[in-house]
Amino acid sequence: MVLWVKKAWKWTKANSTLLLFVAVGIILLLLGQTQQLKKLFQYRKEMMAKDEEALKSYVEETEKIQQWHESATLALEKELEVKSEKLTKEHKRAIVAAVKEAEGNPDAFAKKINDLWGLDYVPPESLGVVHND
């Protein structure tokens, strides 16, 4: 190994001007590249700022959509609750009218309910239930 170091030192002394030119060239190359690197870093910084703005606008748009969805859902739920109340009132009125029309006749009442909502009347006798009148 010592022999190799001696040979390297001898070659360096003999070719010092060549090494000097190579070192100066590398330094100049690096100095020239630093301007390009600065431009590259500046460009990347601008692109990252644009990406951040795009991401912020996307998040804001998503939040607007979520708020719209929530408000639309609440409005729809309120509307359905109102319709549900109306339907139950209409059903109650129809049941009262069916009871009045049947006048104590369970078969007539069952037929009216069947006509209104499609519910089948099963006589209690078929189920084994006996009325104690």
pLDDT of 55 reads: 94
Q: What are phi and psi of 128, to 5 degrees?
A: 90, 15
Residue 47: give the domain boundaries. Answer: 9-81
Residue pointed to by tokens 């309910």 = 113
The CA distances from residue 114 to 61, 89, 96, 122, in Å, are 52, 18, 15, 11
Domain count, the chain: 1
- Is 119 within the bounds of a domain? no
Q: What's the CA gap between 129 and 68, in Å, rounded?
A: 55
- Is 55 within the bounds of a domain? yes
Q: What's the CA gap between 110 and 129, in Å, rounded?
A: 17
User: Do the beta carbons of residue 120 and residue 114 sit within 8 Å?
Assistant: yes
For every one of its 133 residues, what pLDDT tens digit does the chain have, with 9 covering 90 and above? 778 888 888 888 888 888 888 888 888 777 777 777 788 889 999 999 999 999 999 999 889 888 887 887 787 778 777 766 676 777 778 877 877 887 777 777 777 777 777 766 666 677 666 656 5
pLDDT of 47 reads: 94
